[in-house]
Amino acid sequence: MIQTLTLPRPDDWHLHLRDGAMLAGIAPETARHFARAIIMPNLVPPVVTGAQAQDYRDRIRAVTGQGFTPLMTLYLTETTDPADVVAAHRAGIITAVKLYPAGATTNSASGVRDFDRVRGVLDAMAEAGIPLCTHGEVTDPDVDIFDREAVFIDRVLDPLRRATPQLRVVMEHITTADAVAYVQSAPEGLGATITTHHLVINRNHILVGGIKPHYYCLPVAKRETHRQALVSAATSGDARFFLGTDSAPHSDDAKESACGCAGCFTATNTMSILAQIFDTADALDRLEGFVARHGPGFYQLPVNSESLTLEKTADPVAYPAKIDTGAGPVTVFDPGFALYWRVKDMPAS
């Protein structure tokens, strides 16, 4: 039986770090285990220009120090300047651009309504080899919230990829068997991130026995068959699937509210949860691909040279229930099962 597992240091290909006191409070939770992360641009106001991304990167680095590399993204709007995007990428400031359909999720009001209006940016990105990260949900009020991802594939993603076949696209935080099948059907240029929490919860976790706001996120968790499809994809060894935690902190008062915010905060215990899931699936040998190799492969970046060691424990791993931040307490995601894999302490970098 495997008792320790040493991997290249993992990366998180979809992360919310926020700003100010929240950033200061939660960024160390990611930097403790992860070498790099794709940083979401949905601040208020959003990160829309190369100059703003550079400033935000500096604020992140001031908190995390040198051992962690934030990979910045720009928030795509209908007025995004293709030349600014290409220049920011050439200068090494941004790694990708994020597409939020307008109104899809937290701070997405500036997102895209008319996809024809971003065609010039998408063409320039395809030409320059800049990946597009997509929040894959339509926002039409007539589409049921549980169908919004599947409808996005048909109405938005597939037409967009056909119109710009050279564009490299990541379908972020997939939640359905439909998305798994769509990604598997694509010969190249399409990848998908899978979150830790979508490997753990289905919609019953949110709604049965009382409403559980800390399990509410977007895209919302679907029925159990979809969760199982995600676990199969993540543990399959298929390089098109990689970890993007979508760890998204909100203070407890914003979550535990009559109109609670979407987001699960998993940065603190993600590696333990993933090891537990892969162990249960008898796929520990594939964890390395999912957390440390497939993402760099898609983004055409080197695999990290430092390592991280997980060790199996006799007693359940202890982790804090909440992280206290200057912006209020943030509840750490509770997977609902005991964790028997801990990250061995790493030397400070």
Q: Which does 106 bind (CB under 5 to 8 A by kind): Zn ion, ligand DOR, none?
A: ligand DOR
CA distances to 119, 218, 264, 269 from 197, rounded to whole Å, are 33, 11, 7, 11
Instruction: Say whether 246 is catalytic.
Output: yes
CB of 14 to Zn ion, least distance (A): 6
* Selected catalytic residue, list 246, 253, 279, 334: 246
CB of 22 to ligand DOR, least distance (A): 11
Give the whole-angstrom CA distance, residue 277 versus residue 7: 16
**Given the rule CB under 6 A, which residues bind ligand DOR?**
16, 42, 105-106, 135, 217-218, 246, 248, 261-263
Cβ proximity to ligand DOR, 239 vs 262, nearer residue: 262
Counting every residue written for the chain, the total comes to 349
* 3-state secondary structure (DSSP) of residue 324: strand
Q: Interface with Zn ion by CB under 5 A: which range of 142-150, 191-199, 200-208, 241-249? A: 241-249
Cβ proximity to ligand DOR, 100 vs 299, nearer residue: 100
Confirm or reject binding of residue 238 to Zn ion (CB under 5 A). no
Cβ proximity to ligand DOR, 163 vs 262, nearer residue: 262
Cβ proximity to ligand DOR, 135 vs 286, nearer residue: 135
Sheet of strand 307-312: strand arrangement: 4-8, 307-312, 341-343
Cβ proximity to ligand DOR, 265 vs 298, nearer residue: 265
CB of 135 to ligand DOR, least distance (A): 5
DSSP-assigned letter for residue 113: S
CB of 273 to ligand DOR, least distance (A): 17
Q: Which does 192 bind (CB under 5 to 8 A by kind): Zn ion, ligand DOR, none?
A: none
Cβ proximity to ligand DOR, 42 vs 202, nearer residue: 42
Q: Which does 339 bind (CB under 5 to 8 A by kind): ligand DOR, Zn ion, none?
A: none
User: What backbone phi and psi angles, to 5 degrees, belong to 234?
Assistant: -65, -35
In angstroms, the first-to-last Cα distance of the chain is 31
CB of 218 to ligand DOR, least distance (A): 4
Confirm or reject binding of residue 149 to Zn ion (CB under 5 A). no
Residues 6+ apart with CB under 8 A from 166: 126, 127, 189
Residue-wise over 278-290: b if at least 16 C-beta within 10 A, else e? bbebebbebbbbb
CB of 262 to Zn ion, least distance (A): 9
Give the whole-angstrom CA distance, residue 78 versus residue 86: 16
* 3-state secondary structure (DSSP) of residue 42: coil
Q: Which does 263 bind (CB under 5 to 8 A by kind): Zn ion, ligand DOR, none?
A: ligand DOR
Q: Which of 163, 292, 180, 306 is nearest to 231 (CA)?
A: 180
Which of 12, 246, 279, 288 contacts Zn ion by CB under 5 A?
246
Q: Which does 143 bind (CB under 5 to 8 A by kind): ligand DOR, Zn ion, none?
A: none
Handedness of CA 228, 232, 233, 235 (dihedral sign): positive
Residue-wise over 146-182: b if at least 16 C-beta within 10 A, else e? bebbbbbbeebbeebbeebeebbbbbbbbbbbbbbeb
State the catalytic residues. Answer: 246
Q: Would you tell me which residues interact with Zn ion (CB under 5 A)?
A: 246
